[in-house]
Amino acid sequence: MPKWGMAVDLDTCTGCGACVTACHAENNISTVGPEQAARGRAKHWLRVERYWEGEFPDVRLKFRPVMCQQCDAAPCEPVCPTYASHHTEEGLNAQVYNRCIGTRYCANACPYNTRFFDFFNPAWDKPLQLQLNPDVSLREVGVMEKCTFCVQRIKATQIQAAAESREIKDGDIQTACAQSCPSKALVFGDLSDPESHVSRLARSGRGSKLLEDLGTFPNVNYLNRQVEA
């Protein structure tokens, strides 16, 4: 049984944002427009955060891509009244849109702010809708959405591998963000396979987790920037 996880190498991430756009393209995330974006309703399942340190001229800036951490002890799961947010055996925090009734308690509970509410039914100026990914649901008004670790790609690869009677190798499944990253800072894979790339990165001395002290047990490992000796 695989356990899906990701690693983000902050030493390699350049902050370019390609991952964010790739996620929008892959997951049919509708563009909300400037007025709604001003109200905080833009749905960036994956965002790049920036942290400034110091003052000019001794100033530093660090980038950090943040997505749903698919926590083992996800605070968004116990608060969902309809089991729309729950944990799967493969380690994903599932968001089942048809169960969701939009209480938004999960977003309230999530310490990483990675859950987004659909304030509107999706609309695209024609013919932008031709770009939509048929493997990903269109979310209607009133449901929560978030990063799924590209579950559609996981499922498609699993079905394909079963059809061809073969095992899934490390690297067969790539999330859209990891695939697009020009410097290959994002890595997705099976944490239960000790030899997978993501597992090896998880064992790195530079690794840490976000808000670890909250006890959420996230499954995304962040490898800190290496400091020069």
Partner 1 sequence: MDRRTFIKLTAVTGTTATLASCGSPENQLIRFIPAEDITPGVATWKPGVCVMCSAGCGLTVRVMDADADVVRDGKAGVVRIMAAKKLEGAPAHPLNQGGLCVRGQAAIQVTYHPDRITQPLKRSGNRGEGRYEAITWDAALTELLGQLDKLAAAGNTKAVATVVRSGFSQRRAIIDEFLKRFGAPGPVVYDLFGDDVLRRANAMSFGREQLPTFDIGNSRHVLSFGADFLGTWNSPVAQSAGYGRMRQGRPGLRGSFVQVEARMSQTGANADEWVPVTPGTEGVLALGLARAIITANLRPAAAAGRAGALIDGWASGLGSYTPEEVQKATGVSPQRLERLARQFAESTPSVAIVGGPPLAHTNGLFTALAVNALNALVGSVGQPGGLHFTPQPIAARPLASSSLQALSVQLLAGGAGAPQVLLLDGANPIFTAPRAWKVRDAFDKAPFIVSFGSFLDETSAMADLILPDHSFLESWVDAVPESGSVQATASVAGPVMRPLYETRSTPDVLLEVGRRLAKPLSPALPWQTYDAMLAASFAALPAPAGGTDAWTDAQTKGVWTGTLPASLTAPAAAVASDRAGTAVAYAPAQFDGDAGQFPMHFLPYPSIFYDGSAAHLPWLQELPDPLTSAMWSSWVEINTATAGRLGIALGDIVTITSSQGTLQAAAIVSPGIAPDVVAMPVGQGHQLFTRYASGRGQNPVELIAPVTEPSTGALAWAATRVSIVKAGPPDGRLVLFAGGMREHEETPDRGGTWGRGETG
Partner 2 sequence: MWLAVIGSVGCGYVGYPTPPPATALPAVPGQSTGLFTTAHASFGEAATHFFDRRAEPVQPFDFPHVTHVQKGIKCTEYCHSNVTTGPVAGIPGLSTCMVCHQAIATEKPRIQQITAQSKTGVDMAWKRVFDFYPESHVKFNHAPHIRKNVECATCHGNIAEQTVAKRNVELTMGYCVNCHNENKAPVDCLTCHY
| Whole-angstrom distance, CA of residue 207 vs CA of residue 5 | 13
Under the binding rule (CB under 8 A), the answer on residue 80 touching partner 2 is no
Give the per-residue contact string, 148-177, with partner 2 (x = CB under 8 A; - = no).
Answer: x--xx--x---x--xx--------------
Contact between 74 and 115 under an 8 Å Cβ cutoff? The reply is no
- Are 221 and 6 spatial neighbours (Cβ–Cβ below 8 Å)? yes
Angle (CA) 188-193-197 rounded to 5° is 40
Residues contacting 164, CB < 8 A, separation 6+:
none
| 137 near partner 2, judged by CB under 8 A | yes
- Of the residues 108, 121, 183, 226, which one makes contact with partner 2 according to CB under 8 A: 121
Count of chain residues binding partner 2 (CB under 8 A): 35
For partner 2, the closer CB: 133 or 174? 133
Q: Is 161 helix (H, G, I), strand (E, B) or coil?
A: helix
State which residue, 44 or 153, has the beta carbon closest to partner 2.
153
Residue 50, contacted partner among partner 2, partner 1, none, CB below 5-8 A by kind:
partner 1
- Closest approach of partner 2 to the CB of residue 170, in Å: 21
C-alpha to C-alpha distance for 68 and 185, rounded to whole angstroms: 17
35 near partner 2, judged by CB under 8 A: no
38 belongs to the binding site for partner 2 (CB under 8 A): no
Q: State which H helix or E strand residue 5 sits in.
A: strand 4-9
Order the strands of the 186-190 sheet from edge to edge. Answer: 186-190, 4-9, 220-223, 207-208
225: DSSP letter = P
Q: Is 144 helix (H, G, I), strand (E, B) or coil?
A: strand
Binding status of residue 127 toward partner 2 by CB under 8 A: yes
Q: How far is the CB of 190 from partner 2 (least distance, A)?
A: 16
Distance CA 20, CA 66 (A): 10
Q: Rounded to an integer, what distance in angstroms lies between the CA atom of residue 108 and that of residue 118?
A: 15
Part in contact with partner 2 (CB under 8 A); list of ranges 5-13, 73-81, 144-152, 193-201: 144-152
Contact positions toward partner 1, by CB under 8 A?
9, 11-18, 20-22, 24-26, 31-34, 37-42, 44, 47-52, 54-57, 59-63, 113, 120-121, 125-134, 141-142, 176, 179-185, 223, 226, 228
Classified as helix, coil or strand, 47 is strand
CB closer to partner 2 out of 72 and 140: 140
Which residues lie near partner 2 (CB under 8 A)? 28, 83, 86, 88-89, 92, 94, 96-99, 121-127, 129, 132, 134-135, 137-142, 148, 151-152, 155, 159, 162-163
